[in-house]
């Protein structure tokens, strides 16, 4: 079994493997090309993202700078918006549904390292997928780790560290991120009032 196969199947793998390193270099080069484009070079940006991601829907916009490890493990649905400085370590699948909005400085980190010093120092890693449902807003400076599923209709507050699954239709925030409460039908029709966020 190759290191790529191990990585994709959630097994421990050697991240220093030459084939994996070449794949990362290819993705890094595409990210550099993307990040160097001017804001009005929309067709060129679209071309690079379609080349980088394994799947991307209609009406997407990713604000540079953007960084990822491989690209081929990223899927996004329709109406996908990413603000400045997003990092996706997509050693495992990272899947976004439709109408997902990501604020600045967010990270999606599927990769992990052993607690054992010898294995960690030998470049052994593992990776678990991240899934984000439809109609999700992720606030600025949020970290989402591997193995997490975020449901549909969710708002994740700024500065959160998401280490456990989040169910549908809730407001969640904190470190670690916790469900605060369900989002009401009334709230869906108006702007979120942060002074009422914990009521």
- 109-165 pLDDT tens trace: 999 999 999 999 999 999 999 999 999 999 999 999 999 999 999 999 999 999 999
Q: What is the pLDDT of residue 136?
A: 98
Sign of CA dihedral 48, 54, 58, 59: negative
Give the pair of three-digit tokens for residue 53.
Answer: 């991601």
The CA-based angle 193-80-91, given to 5 degrees, is: 110
Q: What percent of the chain has pLDDT over 70?
A: 94
Structure confidence at residue 199 as a pLDDT band (50, 70, 90): very low
Structure confidence at residue 184 as a pLDDT band (50, 70, 90): confident
Rounded (10°) angle between helices 42-52 and 18-36: 170
Give the pair of three-digit tokens for residue 78.
Answer: 């329709």
- 113 classed as catalytic: yes
pLDDT at 194 over 60: no
- 3-state DSSP assignment of residue 178: strand
Catalytic residue among 24, 26, 28, 113: 113
Q: What does pLDDT average to over the chain?
A: 94
Q: What is the pLDDT of residue 191?
A: 59
Reference 30, options 70, 59, 61; nearest CA is 70
Helix (H) or strand (E) holding 21: helix 18-36
**Is the model's pTM score more than 0.95?**
no
pLDDT at 104 over 50: yes
CATH of 3-192, one of 3.30.1490.100, 2.160.10.10, 3.40.50.1780, 3.40.50.11540: 2.160.10.10
Rounded to the nearest 5°, which phi and psi values hold at 94?
-120, 115
Residues in CB range of 114: below 8 A, 6 or more apart: 12, 120, 124, 126
Structure confidence at residue 20 as a pLDDT band (50, 70, 90): very high
Rounded to the nearest 5°, which phi and psi values hold at 162?
-95, 110
pLDDT (average), residues 160-177: 98
């Amino acid at each position: 079994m190759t290191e790529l196969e191990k990585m994709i199947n959630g097994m421990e793998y050697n991240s220093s493997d030459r084939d994996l390193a070449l794949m990362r270099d290819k993705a890094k080069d595409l990210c550099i090309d993307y990040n160097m484009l001017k804001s009005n070079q929309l067709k060129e940006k679209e071309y690079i993202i379609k080349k980088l991601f394994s799947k991307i829907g209609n009406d997407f916009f990713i604000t540079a700078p953007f960084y990822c490890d491989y690209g081929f493990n990223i899927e996004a649905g329709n109406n996908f918006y990413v603000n400045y400085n997003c990092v996706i370590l997509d050693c495992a699948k990272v899947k976004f549904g439709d109408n997902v909005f990501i604020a600045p400085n967010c990270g999606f980190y599927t990769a992990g390292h052993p607690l054992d010093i010898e294995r960690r120092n030998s470049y052994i890693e593992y990776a678990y997928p991240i899934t984000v449902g439809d109609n999700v807003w992720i606030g600025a400076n949020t970290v989402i780790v591997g193995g997490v599923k975020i449901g549909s209709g969710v708002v994740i507050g700024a500065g959160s560290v998401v280490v456990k699954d989040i169910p549908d239709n809730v407001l969640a925030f904190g470190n670690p991120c916790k469900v605060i409460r369900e989002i009401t039908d009334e709230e869906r029709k108006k702007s979120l009032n942060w002074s009422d966020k914990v009521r």
